[in-house]
Structure 1
Amino acid sequence: MERFDSWSDRVGLLRRYGWHIAQCAVAAGVAWELAKVVLDHPQPFFAPVAAIVSLGLSYRQRLRRVAEVTVGVALGVLIGDAFVEVFGTGAVQVTFVVAVAMSLALLLDAGPLLVTQAGVQSAIIATLAPGPTAGLGRWLDAVCGGLVALVAAAVVPGSPLRRPRQEAAAVLRELAGWCRDAHRAVSKGDEQLAYATLDRARDSEQQLADVEAAAIDGLSIARSSPWRRGHRSDLLAVAGLSVLLDRAVRNGRVLLRRITVVVRRGETLDERTLALLDALADTIDQIATELQARREPQISRRQLEQVAQDSAQIPTGVSLSGDVVLALLRSMVVDLLELTGVDNDAARSAVPPAEGEPPSTPRLER
């Protein structure tokens, strides 16, 4: 989970995970009451624990977590009961039973959660459970908590399904802002702005990671919730966009590094190249709007094609920096066309050779 220094960021984090916390709290209460009433367990403390662990603060692999908690408890209870019956309780027995339970779980190719639960439950049974019946009761509590978690996992709001598009749109708007700041930095010779923009761009890895994480969470919801499975194809599409988005952002960072060179050396760029930066920024904003609204990106495609045509009218060979900036802008156009659903060959064909550039000139590698 992210760590933030400012209070406002922490409050924002609480808002983001508020649903998860409420869901865990309600599931814990329901699991306790269900185990107490249905199973007639006076202190079913592991029922809410199993529900909380299974749900956690992430939508990822909830079904697997439920299974691992239940199986881990069963394995720990079985081994703990066997040792209590034969060897009794004590420090040596606890040491041995935890080692055996965790080792056996690991040999079964279990996940970390299952291995941990096996160790924890074997220790609990060896120290707190007076006999096999109590051990079985804890296992039933775990099953009860897991079942409640399964039901709770199926009840999710629509916001996590919208979040992947929102996160991707936020990255695109940030990319558009870089282009506008690059234009201002060159026009004003503002070296501080150029480097500040580059620093912002270098911090974009977390934003890209958020897009991927949001897509994975959304897919987990679509798989586990019977009412959300219709979103699976859309979420898969957004997950596929993260690779293309990453390419565009990487080209944007390389562009900004060149902009710092231009400003530091006091160089100038063709006014048409600077205008291209603004036109590309407007187009990226349009892509973000259409992506977030789940609209077919017809407008942004036309705008990208126009940017590509305009870029071909700018002559090359005037300056190295001018050629590098232009090449990176044109490469970003190809990335963004692919982001809007155009296949790679068509995207490349949409960007004609620049004036003075031979048709066979290869595109910059990413």
Structure 2
Amino acid sequence: MSGERPALRLPQLPPRLTVRQRFAAVGRRWRQLLRLAAATSAAYAISTHLLGHEQAFFAPVAAVIVLLAGVGLRHRLLVELVLGVAVGVLVGELLILATGRGAWQLALIVVLTFSAAVFMGLKGVSLTQAANSGVLLAAVVPAVGADNPAMTRFVDSLVGGACGLAMVLLLPRNATRDIDKEVRPLLEHLEGILEQVARALRAGDAAQADAALERARGLQSQVNSASATAAAATEVAHMSPVRWYQRTEVARYAQVLVDIDNAIRDARVLARRVSSMLRMGETGGDELCEAVECLARGVQIFEAGLSDPAAYARAQDELVESVRLAVGALTDQMTLNRAAVVAQVRSLAADVLFASGMSRDELDVRLNF
């Protein structure tokens, strides 16, 4: 019926995990669990036994915040944390001295503390901690004979943040391995997309090219995840003495990821151009099909040698050959769509060649057909 409404599409729920998979997921977090245990206990022990603070709850809380912070934030998170706590305890303590403790006083403290933090230009976690500090000061009555709560909260936040940061430095993840596990699947997907585009050209099947386009578009979430991992790996490699030896390798992988991201974007345009060409009734021809197949082989060889830059020469030869074949296909039949496909083959090959370490000058020489 023309007036019938389309059925509602419910969001897909994540697949259910078996008990074994859940235990495995916990097991993979062993390093994080160890960090949390060591940092929180150390922070509490230092604040309670070494510094003599009563109710030193904020020290382990600060350690947890630093440990579970978003990637790329820890190098500045400790400063933000202390700034936020400082604002919270300052505003909160002044208001408590003036108004006392109670429900309406707590509401007033939270509003004014947050407003003061915004006025000072604080953002992110520092805003959260400013409000949290005000709440804790208003809600938790200091023990009899305890030191000034404003100063103890401030010091506890510093102790907890330092303990959390120390655990990140002393028990870091393997930065190179983490980023390698993200980049390789992207290259495998890119190879598969190019193979699918080549099959579409061979068969003259625009629908298959459209499927390759959708597959390429679906990689964006993986690219974003890989970028986040690269940021975390770079942070670890620069901050942790245990991983300093990985800095050069992590920087290389991070640059590879940038170039592969560009290559995936070019693959989307390539698939769209091939689909347009086939819908217009144009054929790819053997040489253009071979060019895309050669491009896929170059990506596959590059992925296989990802951890060994000395093996990139074979991949570079395949990628250069793909451009030579594509440019040669223009001599058979020059159309706007065909020229666009050839241009995308060259652009994508250039991205992977850049990922292999080829300079722009060398690229211009080798792709000058």
**Which TM class, normalised by the smaller chain length?**
0.7 to 0.9
Q: Aligned letter for 2:113?
A: A
Matches within 5 A, 1:320-339: 320=335, 321-339=337-355
1:356 corresponds to: none
Matches within 5 A, 1:33-72: 33-41=45-53, 43-72=55-84
Which of residues 188, 204, 212 in structure 2 aligns to 1:197?
212
Whole-Å separation in 2 of the counterparts to 1:306 and 1:202? 27
Whole-Å separation in 2 of the counterparts to 1:195 and 1:16? 38
1:317·1:323 contact (CA, 8 Å) conserved in 2? Answer: no
Where 1:31 maps in the other structure, the secondary structure is helix
2:44·2:56 contact (CA, 8 Å) conserved in 1? Answer: yes
Whole-Å separation in 2 of the counterparts to 1:316 and 1:246? 31
Any stretches of 5+ residues in structure 1 without a counterpart? Answer: 354-366
Any stretches of 5+ residues in structure 2 without a counterpart? Answer: 1-11
Change over 3 Å in CA distance of 1:286–1:217 after alignment to 2? same
Within the alignment, does 1:186 sit opposite 2:201 as a pair? Answer: yes
Whole-Å separation in 1 of the counterparts to 2:343 and 2:80? 52
Matches within 5 A, 1:164-183: 164-183=179-198
Whole-Å separation in 2 of the counterparts to 1:217 and 1:151? 16
1:357 corresponds to: none
* Stretch deviating more after TM superposition (25-34 or 171-180): 25-34
Which of residues 81, 86, 94 in structure 2 aligns to 1:74?
86
Change over 3 Å in CA distance of 1:233–1:272 after alignment to 2? same
Within the alignment, does 1:269 sit opposite 2:284 as a pair? Answer: yes
Where 1:60 maps in the other structure, the secondary structure is coil
Change over 3 Å in CA distance of 1:207–1:101 after alignment to 2? same
1:81·1:132 contact (CA, 8 Å) conserved in 2? Answer: no
Q: 1:261-317, CA deviations, whole angstroms, 9 ceiling, x for partnerless residues? A: 344455432112212222111111111222244546222223323333334433435
1:276·1:307 contact (CA, 8 Å) conserved in 2? Answer: yes
Where 2:148 maps in the other structure, the secondary structure is helix
Where 2:329 maps in the other structure, the secondary structure is coil
1:280 corresponds to: 295
2:207·2:275 contact (CA, 8 Å) conserved in 1? Answer: no
**How far 1:206 moved relative to its partner?**
1.9
1:305·1:350 contact (CA, 8 Å) conserved in 2? Answer: yes
Within the alignment, does 1:96 sit opposite 2:123 as a pair? Answer: no
**How far 1:65 moved relative to its partner?**
1.5
1:6 corresponds to: 15
Within the alignment, does 1:313 sit opposite 2:325 as a pair? Answer: no
Q: 1:75-111, CA deviations, whole angstroms, 9 ceiling, x for partnerless residues? A: 3223322222232122343233223322333333323
Q: 1:119-169, CA deviations, whole angstroms, 9 ceiling, x for partnerless residues? A: 211222123133763443333332321121121010244433332333233
Whole-Å separation in 2 of the counterparts to 1:15 and 1:344? 45
Which of residues 326, 331, 340 in structure 1 aligns to 2:356?
340
Change over 3 Å in CA distance of 1:52–1:245 after alignment to 2? same
Whole-Å separation in 1 of the counterparts to 2:279 and 2:324? 30
Q: Aligned letter for 2:61?
A: V
Whole-Å separation in 2 of the counterparts to 1:288 and 1:244? 13
Where 1:27 maps in the other structure, the secondary structure is helix
* Stretch deviating more after TM superposition (59-68 or 316-325): 316-325
Which of residues 125, 133, 137 in structure 2 aligns to 1:113?
125
Q: Aligned letter for 2:174?
A: S
Whole-Å separation in 2 of the counterparts to 1:190 and 1:322? 15
Whole-Å separation in 2 of the counterparts to 1:336 and 1:21? 38
Within the alignment, does 1:244 sit opposite 2:253 as a pair? Answer: no
Which of residues 312, 315, 319 in structure 2 aligns to 1:304?
319
Change over 3 Å in CA distance of 1:189–1:22 after alignment to 2? farther
Change over 3 Å in CA distance of 1:194–1:303 after alignment to 2? closer
* Stretch deviating more after TM superposition (99-108 or 13-22): 13-22
1:55·1:149 contact (CA, 8 Å) conserved in 2? Answer: yes
Whole-Å separation in 1 of the counterparts to 2:221 and 2:261? 11
1:179·1:280 contact (CA, 8 Å) conserved in 2? Answer: yes
Whole-Å separation in 2 of the counterparts to 1:51 and 1:273? 58
Q: Aligned letter for 1:79?
A: V
* Stretch deviating more after TM superposition (75-84 or 143-152): 75-84
Identity across matched positions, percent: 26
Change over 3 Å in CA distance of 1:337–1:238 after alignment to 2? same
Within the alignment, does 1:257 sit opposite 2:272 as a pair? Answer: yes
**How far 1:213 moved relative to its partner?**
1.6
* Stretch deviating more after TM superposition (121-130 or 6-15): 6-15
* Stretch deviating more after TM superposition (46-55 or 209-218): 209-218
Whole-Å separation in 2 of the counterparts to 1:318 and 1:14? 59
Which of residues 29, 36, 39 in structure 2 aligns to 1:27?
39
Where 1:228 maps in the other structure, the secondary structure is helix
2:39·2:60 contact (CA, 8 Å) conserved in 1? Answer: yes
Using the size of structure 2 for normalisation, the TM-score is 0.82
